[in-house]
Amino acid sequence: MAFPAFDATLAALLATVLVAGLAKGLSGFGSGMIVAPVAGALYGPQAALVIVVLIDSLPAVPITLPVLPLARWREVLPVTAGLFFFFPAGIYILTHGDTQALRWAISIAVLLCAATLMSGYRYRGPRNAAVSLGVGGVAGVLSGIASIPGPPVIAYWMASGLPAAIVRANLLTLFLLGEVVSLGNIWAAGLLKAEVVMIALAAAPVYLAGLLAGARGFDRSSERTYRLSTYGLIVLAAVLALPIFDGLLPR
């Protein structure tokens, strides 16, 4: 296997994953919602899922390990279980859906999720294990389709009244556990193709650099700043990846 040639398409992906790494390092979420629509426009939705999962596995370890003691495991584990059980449903949709329709669906879903989060909506219902399992199930379907499990979990945990540092720790912990689930499922679905794996490996160091820079910036910014900056990046990525703007991205 050889690394892909450095062309305009790869350059666009590397720029995107750098921004995504900064966003996730800063806020604990947003990388999938930034990378998935753009990578889907560049390489197709199935390749996009593999790229997001691979770049967000090992590179995320250095910023996740230090926050593990802050994570609320009684909340993280039921959500992780829901993600585990429903991820295959998302994979089924991805592997049987039309590529162009999936691109539209992914971009629109990301925009709707971002709009919901930016509106200030917060879940106010019960917060028991069954509800957490259900939230994880929705996250699992979204993760299987495009590796964007964040929105339902973010809306759920941000309503908990927990400090930003704990919400960030919960999200980072969930996403790291989720990568284990994702890797097994995409391997079983036959999506780990050599050329896509090499693209992901080429992008991983750039993503790691963004993660580390963003993590350093977390301690220097306000809660409002890190959330709004991440939301803005998510919206920009989703808009640019809409099929009607294909001329803006190299293919």
Tens-place pLDDT, residues 192-244: 889 999 999 999 999 989 888 887 766 665 666 666 776 777 777 677 767 77
Tell whether 86 is covered by a domain.
yes
Residue 1 lies in a domain: no
How many Å apart are CA 164 and CA 226, to the nearest integer?
10
Rounded distance, CA 241 to CA 6, Å?
21
Q: Supply 180's token pair.
A: 């284990």
pLDDT for the residue 198:
93
Does the residue 250 lie in any domain? no
What are the distances in angstroms from CA 248 to CA 8, 38, 106? Answer: 11, 11, 18
Number of domains in the chain: 1
Instruction: Tokens for 169, please give them.
Output: 């720790």
Question: By CB neighbour count within 10 A (0-12 exposed, 13-18 middle, 19+ buried), where does 41 fall?
Answer: buried
Output the pLDDT for position 223. 62
Separation of alpha carbons 208 and 203, rounded Å:
9
What range does the domain containing 102 cover? Answer: 9-244
Predicted TM-score (pTM) of this structure? 0.73
Angstrom distance (rounded) from CA 132 to CA 164: 19
Per DSSP, helices labelled H in 191-245 are: 194-218, 223-240
Q: Tokens for 246? A: 């294909």
Section 21-43 average pLDDT: 81
Cα–Cα dist 181/144, whole Å: 10
Using CA atoms of 17, 193, 88, 61 in order, give the dihedral in degrees to the nearest 10.
-40
CA distances from 107 to 8, 95, 100, 162 (A): 21, 17, 11, 30
Percentage of the chain modeled with pLDDT above 90: 16
**Which residues, 6 or more positions from 80, have their beta carbon under 8 angstroms from its beta carbon?**
136, 174, 177, 178, 181
Average pLDDT over every residue of 67-81: 90
